[in-house]
Structure 1
Amino acid sequence: MNPGALPPTTTLKPLALGVLLPTGTAQWAKDDDPRDLITLGRTAEHLGFTSLFVNDSLITPRIEALTMLAALAATTETATLGTGALLPYLRRPVQTAQTLASIDLLSHGRLTLAVGAGFPGRFGRPFYDLSEVPWPRRFARLDETVRLWRALWQGADTFHGEFHHFTDLPPALRPTRPTGPPIWLAGATPTARTRTGRLYDGWLPYPPDPADYTTGLHDIHQAAAAAGRTPEAITPALFITVRIDDDPHSARAALDDYARATYGMPLPELEKIQAVVAGTAEQVAERLDQYVTAGARHLVTRPAALNLRAQHEQLERVAALIPDLPTPSPPRTRVRPGQ
Structure 2
Amino acid sequence: MRLGVTMFATDLSMPVQDLARAAEERGFDSLYVPEHTHIPISRRTPYPAGDRPTLPEEYSHTLDPLVALSFAAAATTRLRLGTGILLAAQRDPIVTAKAVATLDHLSGGRVVVGVGFGWNVEEIENHGVPYRRRREVARRNVLAMQALWRDEVASFDGFEPSWSWPKPVNGPPPVYVGGAAGPKLFAHVAEYAAGWMPIGGSGIRAALPALREACEKAGRPMAEVIPFGTRPTREKLDYFADLGIEEAVAALPSGPREVVLPILDAYAAYR
Q: Indicate the TM-score class for this superposition, using the shorter chain for normalisation.
A: 0.7 to 0.9
1:221 maps to 2:215: no
Distance 2:221 2:27 in 1: 29
Q: CA deviation at 1:133?
A: 2.1
Q: Deviations over 1:254-304 (max 9, x none)?
A: xxxxxxxxxxxxxxxxxxxxxxx6xxxxxx222333333344321110124
Q: 1:134 aligns with which of 112, 124, 130?
A: 130
Higher mean displacement: 106-115 or 16-25: 16-25
- Return the letter of the residue paired with 2:79: A
State the alpha-carbon separation in 1 of the partners of residues 230 and 181 from structure 2. Answer: 20
Cα distance, 1:215 vs structure 2:
2.3
Structure 2: how far apart are the matches of 1:84 and 1:239?
A: 8
Map residues 248-287 of structure 1 onto 2, 5 A cutoff. 284-287=233-236
2:168 aligned partner: 175
Partner of 2:51: none
Q: Select which of 229, 242, 246 maps to 1:297.
A: 246
For residues 207 and 19 of structure 1, what CA distance do their matches in structure 2 show? Answer: 12
Partner residue in 2 for 1:273: none
Which residues of 2 match residues 140-159 of structure 1 at below 5 A?
140-153=136-149, 154-159=151-156
What TM-score do you get using the length of structure 2 for normalisation? 0.84
CA distance in 2, matches of 1:139, 1:66: 21
2-side partners of 1:85 and 1:49: how far apart?
A: 19
Say whether the 8 Å CA contact 2:104–2:169 is kept in structure 1. Answer: yes
Of all paired residues, the percent bearing the same amino acid is 28
Report the TM-score, using the length of structure 1 for normalisation: 0.68
In the alignment, the residues of structure 2 paired with residue 157 and residue 62 of structure 1 have an alpha-carbon distance, to the nearest angstrom, of: 32
Matches within 5 A, 1:19-38: 19-24=5-10, 28=13, 36-38=15-17
For the residues of structure 2 that align with 1:208 and 1:224, how far apart are their CA atoms?
20
Q: For 1:1-339, what aligned pairs fall within 5 Å after superposition?
A: 15-24=1-10, 28=13, 36-59=15-38, 60-119=60-119, 124-153=120-149, 154-160=151-157, 165-178=158-171, 180-190=172-182, 191-207=184-200, 209=202, 212-231=203-222, 234-242=223-231, 284-304=233-253, 306-322=255-271
168-177 vs 145-154, which moves further: 168-177
After superposition, the Cα gap between the structure-2 partners of 1:181 and 1:157, relative to the gap in structure 1 and judged at 3 Å, is closer
TM superposition shift of 1:155: 2.4
Q: More displaced, 97-106 or 80-89?
A: 80-89
The one-letter amino acid paired with 1:69 is L
Aligned equivalents of 2:115 and 2:264: distance in 1?
25
Q: Which residue identity is paired with 1:287? A: K
What amino acid maps onto 1:219 in structure 2?
Answer: A
Q: How far apart are residue 125 of structure 1 and its match?
A: 1.0
- Verify the 8 A CA contact 1:241 1:303 in the aligned structure 2: no
> Cα RMSD (Å) of the superposition?
1.9
User: Shift in Å at residue 156 of structure 1?
Assistant: 3.3
Given that 2:143 and 2:192 are in contact with CA atoms closer than 8 Å, whether structure 1 keeps it comes out as: no
Q: Does the aligned pair in 1 maintain the 2:201–2:230 contact within 8 Å?
A: no
Residue 115 of structure 1 aligns to a residue whose secondary structure is strand
Aligned length, in residue pairs: 248
Contact map agreement 2:92 2:141 (CA 8 A) in 1: no
What secondary structure, in the 3-state scheme, does the structure 1 residue paired with 2:35 have? coil
Bigger Rg, which one:
1
**Residues 148 and 186 (structure 1 numbering): CA distance in 2 closer, same or farther, change over 3 Å?**
same
Cα displacement (A) at 1:25: 5.5
Contact 2:6–2:32 under 8 Å retained in 1: yes
Residue 207 of structure 1: how far off its partner (Å): 4.8
Unaligned runs of 5+ in 2: 39-59
Distance (whole Å) between structure 2 residues aligned to residue 241 and residue 208 of structure 1: 6
One-letter amino acid matched to 1:313: P
Letter in 2 for 1:307: P
Contact 2:201-2:228 at 8 Å conserved across structures: no
1:214, 1:295 within 8 Å by CA — same for their partners in 2?
no
Contact 1:305 1:314 in 2 (8 A): no
**Residue 208 of structure 1: how far off its partner (Å):** 5.7
Separation in 2, partners of 1:47, 1:39? 12
TM-aligned CA distance change 1:303 to 1:157, over 3 Å: closer
Gaps of 5+ in 1: 1-14, 29-33, 243-276, 278-283, 323-339
1:136 is paired with a residue whose SS is: helix
Q: How far is the alpha carbon of 1:49 from its aligned partner?
A: 0.1
Letter in structure 2 aligned against 1:16? R
